Amino acid sequence: MIKINNAEELANKIDYTNLNNLSKKEDIDYLVKKANEYKFYSVVVSPYYVKYTKELLKDSAVKLTTVAGFPLGFSTPKTKKKEAKIAIKNGIDELDMVANIQALKTKDYDTVTQEIEKVKKVCNEKILKVIIEAELLNDEEIVKISEIIANSGGDYIKTSTGMSGQSPTIHNIRIIQKTAPQMKIKASGGIKDYKTAIRLLSLGVDRIGTSSGDLIIEEYKRISEKHWNYV
């Protein structure tokens, strides 16, 4: 199991997320407050809240991430490219783009390839994470889309939007790692506790996406305090 030395080290592996379509400004205020307090790697917000969040983060080391093609991924490559341009203009550091799963399912690999290439060209040096909804794919499809992302310029393979109601599986992560060992992986979807986060990091996942980041860090701190009380 991976060794986490302190809460800040764990927090630096987490993209703390609020993509709830009912979120108000006070919810984003809370997200940024906790991100600064715990030192999460980034916050992930909807495109609507990018400008607002950028202003909140103006004196912070926490990075800003938004989404494109979210949550279903079936918008056109041209649309996703436009979303990426607007997001970058508004000050994001990283972009999480949902791949076109419909195109993948119909073996229209050109469309999947083109959208990643187009968006990555816009992103340039900024990090592009491509969401594959792994829990909705069979093994062959996970292999194929992992190959496409690796060859099209994506920086991360992200397991899920979190909308499928399923959590990342060891099996699917192992397929991604075997197919594209050079790619970084972001695990997301139903990650709500410390043990799950640590288990995924122990598999070699590079980043965790979760809306429960504050709860995970607070749980880690309780466990750590309990441990040291017994030492």
Point out the catalytic residue in the list 96, 118, 120, 144: 96
User: Is 186 a catalytic site residue?
Assistant: yes
The average pLDDT across 150-175 equals 94
pLDDT band, very low/low/confident/very high, at 231 (cuts 50, 70, 90): very low
Amino acid identity of 122?
A: V
Q: Which of 4-13, 57-66, 88-97, 130-139 has the lowest mean pLDDT?
A: 4-13
The average pLDDT across 19-31 equals 98
pLDDT in tens, 36-85: 999 999 999 999 999 999 999 999 999 999 999 999 999 999 999 999 99
pLDDT band, very low/low/confident/very high, at 2 (cuts 50, 70, 90): low
Domains of the chain with bracketed CATH: 7-230 (3.20.20.70)
User: Is 13 a catalytic site residue?
Assistant: no
Residue keyed to tokens 């103006």? 58
Please name the helix (run of DSSP H) or strand (run of DSSP E) that holds residue 109, with its range, or none: helix 109-123
What is the per-residue pLDDT for 166? 83
Using an 8 Å Cβ cutoff, are 128 and 81 in contact? no
Point out the catalytic residue in the list 13, 34, 144, 158: 158
Using an 8 Å Cβ cutoff, are 65 and 92 in contact? yes
Q: Which two tokens stand for residue 36?
A: 């600064």
Closest CA relative to residue 15, chosen from 96, 88, 132, 71: 96
* Between residues 109 and 227, the one the model is more confident about: 109
Residue keyed to tokens 């390839």? 113
**Residue 167 predicted with pLDDT over 90:** no
What is the per-residue pLDDT for 224? 81
pLDDT band, very low/low/confident/very high, at 164 (cuts 50, 70, 90): confident
Point out the catalytic residue in the list 80, 118, 144, 186: 186
User: Is 89 a catalytic site residue?
Assistant: no
**Residue 214 predicted with pLDDT over 80:** yes
Using an 8 Å Cβ cutoff, are 57 and 32 in contact? yes
Amino acid identity of 23?
A: S
Name the pTM for this structure.
0.95
Helix (H, G, I), strand (E, B) or coil at 63: strand
Closest CA relative to residue 17, chosen from 203, 162, 135: 162
